[in-house]
Chain A
């Protein structure tokens, strides 16, 4: 199974400042079709998860452009250019290249300082 490792696990941030979450996979996430199936999900307190980013860097509809994804192979990053209060929650990376199983990172809790 592909193991997804996120860091940090806790991220206190100041409103208006940038934030960055790292995600590393134990194996390359490049599929034989050339795509890389790495997604990022946001889970606000008390809510279901919501996908923000798919295939490394594609933002889902309605996701603010302050969220961006990057990376390749085994190293990936989610960046928030300017953190807003509504960004508080837990963020998960997930791989969908080598399945089953689809596997998630442990989650990174973003909170306001």
Chain B
């Protein structure tokens, strides 16, 4: 069955970088539209970024444009989120989400990113 496992979260100082990974199993992630969604502590859900199955089309929410980059390694069946110039407001649990023709068919358990000095 479909499984998504995020990793790479942690505590980082403002202005620093972090790379999140999402390892997929049970399907080929490069043939699916894949998203990152985040949830700040005690808050709601916010879509962050997505990569189309062609690997060329990517989209970002305005607040992360120019700072975050979504990418993938098909050989590892892994999706990434490179996060640069991190801000305290980027503190959240980051979820990897599979699009099965409609957003959100499968979610990972998330990885917590804390941006704090």
Contacts and interface: CB of A to CB of B under 8 A. Distances in A.
Q: Secondary structure of the A side of the interface? A: loop
Interface stretch (A16-24, A73-81, A103-111): A103-111
Interface string A78-104: 000000000000101010100111111
B41 interface: no
Contacts of B102: 37, 39, 54-55, 96
Nearest to B95: A48
Residue in B59, B62, B102, B110 whose Cβ sees the most chain A Cβ within 10 Å = B102
Given A54-B102, A54-B105, 17 more contacts: A37-B102, A39-B103, A39-B104, A48-B108, A50-B107, A51-B104, A55-B102, A90-B44, A92-B44, A96-B102, A99-B59, A101-B61, A102-B35, A102-B50, A104-B45, A105-B44, A107-B44
Interface of B: 35, 37, 44-47, 50, 59-62, 95, 102-105, 107-110
Nearest to A104: B45
Contacts of B60: 100
Interface residues of A, number: 24
Contacts, number: 57
Contacts of B104: 39, 41, 49, 51, 54, 94
B103 A102 contact: yes
Contacts of A60: 105
A101 B45 contact: no
Contacts of B109: 48
Contacts of A100: 47, 50, 59-61
Contacts of A104: 44-47
A53 to B, nearest CB: 10
A90 B102 CA distance: 21
B104 to A, nearest CB: 5
Contacts of A106: 44
Which A-B residue pairs are the 4 nearest by beta carbons?
A100-B59, A102-B47, A96-B103, A54-B102
A70 to B, nearest CB: 17
B64 to A, nearest CB: 11
